[in-house]
């Protein structure tokens, strides 16, 4: 990418800066080295982590979430899926062992390279396809390609508009009768401070030199990448409330039982699941 395009990207999508900086760093590292030095970028893990322990944490989450989403054990072997925001493959490796085809999609091409490495060592490489989300908002896949569209700890890191566009894309690329399971982050009390601070950090990120330094500082990066908070009502309104029960069936908002969530649309089930982080929620739905 040319310097000019980099500069324009930085202005248009400052929330992408920490990902790209981490991605650049991983270009000269093996996936194991990347986990040891930037594991926190993907899973808030620091200290004694290796690619193996990192993948094991992802595999465990894959197993638990597939169960929560209603896939009986072994039922996904003939299915295809897309993972939006695969990172370096923490969960992707687990998906490749369970699905026939996995499209790992990420805004950073270097992460996708490390993702291939992770899957080579810990997953099923023949099941993997990688997909660069170059514009941060669209998936280069034909309509109706996959049986399952999944995204975890990613849609909170895009601009709200890009996140909504990726939700539309997830619906577009999923086959009729296929399932979507998309994870979002909603408001917490701490956000009253975190969100304005995050905005400030992203403002500073527009300066390349400052950005290079800040992208290595864990606390600043974690502040800066909290790019949006989207509630179930925001997402349902953006998809179109009239689609509930028509284009989308079995619509469920999965949330933490420690947290009350407001869902105004009729026909949406709410389900409290202990495993879900109190600031997170999931949109689970089947395409008609």
Ligand X SMILES: C[S@@+](CC[C@H](N)C(=O)[O-])C[C@H]1O[C@@H](n2cnc3c(N)ncnc32)[C@H](O)[C@@H]1O
Taking CB under 6 A as the criterion, the residue among 157, 164, 255, 280 binding ligand X is 157
Indicate whether 223 belongs to the interface with ligand X (CB under 6 A).
no
Neighbouring CB atoms inside 10 A of 138's CB total 16
Indicate whether 108 belongs to the interface with ligand X (CB under 6 A).
yes
Q: Phi and psi dihedrals of 90, rounded to 5?
A: -55, -45
The residue to which tokens 């992408």 are assigned: 16
Indicate whether 43 belongs to the interface with ligand X (CB under 6 A).
yes
User: Exposed, middle or buried: residue 190 (CB in 10 Å: 0-12, 13-18, 19+)?
Assistant: exposed
Of the candidate spans 79-87, 96-104, 170-178, 241-249, the one that interacts with ligand X by CB under 6 A turns out to be 79-87
Indicate whether 19 belongs to the interface with ligand X (CB under 6 A).
yes
Neighbouring CB atoms inside 10 A of 278's CB total 12
Q: Phi and psi dihedrals of 119, rounded to 5?
A: -70, -35
Rounded Cα–Cα distance for residues 31 and 48 (Å) = 15
Of the candidate spans 25-33, 80-88, 250-258, 264-272, the one that interacts with ligand X by CB under 6 A turns out to be 80-88
Rounded Cα–Cα distance for residues 155 and 149 (Å) = 13
Of the candidate spans 3-11, 65-73, 85-93, 198-206, the one that interacts with ligand X by CB under 6 A turns out to be 85-93
Rounded Cα–Cα distance for residues 77 and 284 (Å) = 20
- Nearer Cβ to ligand X (90/164): 90
x/- binding map, residues 178-217, to ligand X, per CB under 6 A? ----------------------------------------
Indicate whether 158 belongs to the interface with ligand X (CB under 6 A).
yes
- Nearer Cβ to ligand X (98/268): 98
Q: Give the max Cα distance, the chain.
A: 51
- Nearer Cβ to ligand X (19/101): 19
Indicate whether 103 belongs to the interface with ligand X (CB under 6 A).
no
- Tell me, by CB under 6 A, how many residues bind ligand X: 23
Rounded Cα–Cα distance for residues 152 and 90 (Å) = 11
Taking CB under 6 A as the criterion, the residue among 99, 103, 152, 282 binding ligand X is 152
State the DSSP string of 30-89: -HHHHHHHHHHHHHS--SS--HHHHHHHHHHHHHHHHHHTT--TTTTTT-EEEEES-TTT
Rounded Cα–Cα distance for residues 41 and 157 (Å) = 12
Of the candidate spans 29-37, 153-161, 171-179, 201-209, the one that interacts with ligand X by CB under 6 A turns out to be 153-161
**Minimum distance between the CB of residue 185 and ligand X, rounded to whole angstroms?**
11
Segment 122 to 141, residues that bind ligand X, using CB under 6 A: 133, 136
**Minimum distance between the CB of residue 175 and ligand X, rounded to whole angstroms?**
21
Give contact residues for ligand X (rule: CB under 6 A).
19, 42-43, 58, 84-87, 90-91, 105-108, 111, 133, 136, 152-154, 157-158, 162
């Amino acid at each position: 990418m040319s310097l000019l395009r980099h500069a324009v990207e930085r202005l248009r999508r400052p929330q992408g800066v920490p990902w790209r900086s981490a991605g650049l760093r991983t270009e000269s590292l093996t996936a194991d080295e990347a986990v040891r030095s930037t594991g926190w970028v993907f899973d808030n893990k620091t200290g004694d982590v290796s690619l193996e322990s990192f993948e094991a944490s992802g595999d465990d989450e894959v197993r638990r979430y597939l169960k929560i989403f209603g896939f009986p054990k072994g039922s996904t072997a003939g299915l295809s899926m897309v993972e939006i925001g695969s990172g370096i493959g923490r969960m992707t490796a687990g998906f490749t062992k369970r699905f026939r085809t996995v499209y790992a999609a990420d805004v950073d091409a270097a992460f996708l390279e490390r993702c291939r490495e992770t899957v080579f060592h810990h997953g099923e490489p023949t099941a993997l396809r990688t997909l660069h989300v170059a514009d941060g908002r669209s998936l280069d896949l034909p309509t109706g390609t996959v049986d399952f569209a999944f995204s975890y700890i990613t849609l909170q890191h895009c601009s709200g508009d890009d996140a909504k566009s990726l939700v539309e894309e997830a619906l577009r690329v999923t086959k009729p009768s296929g399932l979507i399971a998309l994870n979002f982050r909603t408001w917490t009390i701490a956000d009253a401070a975190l969100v304005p601070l995050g905005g400030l950090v992203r403002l500073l990120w527009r300066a390349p030199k400052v950005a290079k330094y800040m992208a290595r500082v864990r606390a600043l990066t974690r502040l800066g990448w909290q790019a949006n908070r989207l509630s179930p009502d925001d997402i349902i309104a953006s998809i179109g409330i009239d689609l509930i029960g028509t284009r989308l069936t079995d619509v469920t908002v999965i949330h933490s039982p420690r947290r009350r969530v407001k869902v105004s649309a009729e026909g949406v089930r709410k389900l409290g699941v202990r495993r879900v982080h109190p600031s997170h929620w999931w949109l689970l739905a089947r395409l008609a």
